[in-house]
């Protein structure tokens, strides 16, 4: 199936641990994003990569480090997890950074930090 | 500051009834506005896109309107179905003078519940 897929879908971990979320898109898009959706369902951009190049880095703690090995993959690594990191993280892609096209979202990864 | 505000925050309607969701924005310069539907536990999916020159656009039972002068958009759902229960998110994209990255601002969403 053509889609944006992210793993894992659910992640429960202790404070202080390090975890990663992986994202892959087979839509042939150039641009990929990570969004954080908080408990109030507000979606906030974290990072964006265009052809493996970081183009957006919003005010996100440096405990969060994205990595794009190729334009079809954008992974998110989080160090020293804190309670406030609990949220749903969405990966998304779009054809290219300057287009007016839509964002294609993954199913989300629900992170719970205990 | 670019903002997108949606109302109501939540809405409960009976199956078969119509409803209208509102979106007000201050994003400038304006490029386009999209309405997304987010089912529980899923990622948002685009319903429709409105550009500056478009006033009304329909997608099945969904009709979006745009008033670029007052910076308002609405999403009207006709003959609601149980499957319409979801969050509806208004997303406004700013135009980039350089043709590069276009900033996208998300609304806070309206949670719609359709009950039998």
Euclidean distance between CA atoms A72 and A81, whole angstroms: 26
User: Which residues of chain B have a CB within 8 Å of the CB of A44?
Assistant: 106
Tell me the average pLDDT across B34-61: 94
Asked whether the beta carbons of B110 and B21 are under 8 A apart, the reply is yes
Residue ranges in B55-100 assigned as alpha helix (H): none
* CB contacts, 8 Å: B45 with chain A: 105
Tens digits of per-residue pLDDT, A2-61?
699 999 999 999 999 999 999 999 999 999 999 999 888 889 999 988 888 888 878 788
Is the Cβ–Cβ distance between A72 and A91 less than 8 Å?
A: no
**Which residues of A are less than 8 Å from B109 in CB distance?**
41-42
Average pLDDT over residues B31-51: 94
Q: Backbone phi, then psi, for B83, in 5-degree steps?
A: -70, -10
* Contact status of A11 with chain B (Cβ, < 8 Å): no
- Pair type for strands A87-94 and A109-113: antiparallel
- For residue range A82-96, list pLDDT tens digits in order: 999 999 999 999 987
Write the residue in A48, A102, A108 that is nearest to B34 by C-beta: A102
Higher pLDDT, B90 or B101: B90
The dihedral over CA atoms of A64, A67, A68, A73, expressed in degrees to the nearest 10, equals -70
- Higher model confidence: residue A63 or residue A42? A63
Q: Cα–Cα distance between B87 and A102 in angstroms, integer? A: 17
Q: Quote the tokens at residue A106.
A: 């993954």
- Band of pLDDT at residue A99, cut at 50, 70 and 90: low
Looking at residue B100, its pLDDT comes to: 63
């Amino acid at each position: 199936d053509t889609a944006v897929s992210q793993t894992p879908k659910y992640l429960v971990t202790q404070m202080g641990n390090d975890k990663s979320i992986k994202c892959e898109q087979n839509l042939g898009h150039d641009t990929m994003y990570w969004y954080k959706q908080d408990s109030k369902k507000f979606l906030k951009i974290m990072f964006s990569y265009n052809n493996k190049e970081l183009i957006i880095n919003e005010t996100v703690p440096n405990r969060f480090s994205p990595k794009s090995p190729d334009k079809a993959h954008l992974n998110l690594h989080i160090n020293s997890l804190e309670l406030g990191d609990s949220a749903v993280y969405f990966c998304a892609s779009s054809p290219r950074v300057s287009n007016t096209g839509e964002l294609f979202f993954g199913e989300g990864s629900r992170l719970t930090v205990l | 500051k670019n903002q997108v505000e949606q109302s109501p925050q939540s809405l409960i309607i009976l199956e078969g009834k119509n409803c209208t969701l509102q979106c007000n924005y201050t994003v400038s310069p304006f490029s386009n506005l999209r309405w997304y539907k987010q089912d529980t536990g899923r990622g948002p999916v685009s319903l429709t896109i409105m550009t500056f020159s478009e006033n009304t656009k329909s997608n099945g039972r969904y009709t979006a309107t745009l008033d670029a002068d007052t910076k308002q958009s609405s999403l009207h759902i006709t003959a609601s179905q149980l499957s319409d229960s979801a969050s509806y998110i208004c997303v406004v994209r700013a135009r980039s003078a350089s043709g590069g990255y276009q900033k996208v601002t998300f609304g806070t969403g309206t949670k719609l519940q359709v009950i039998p």
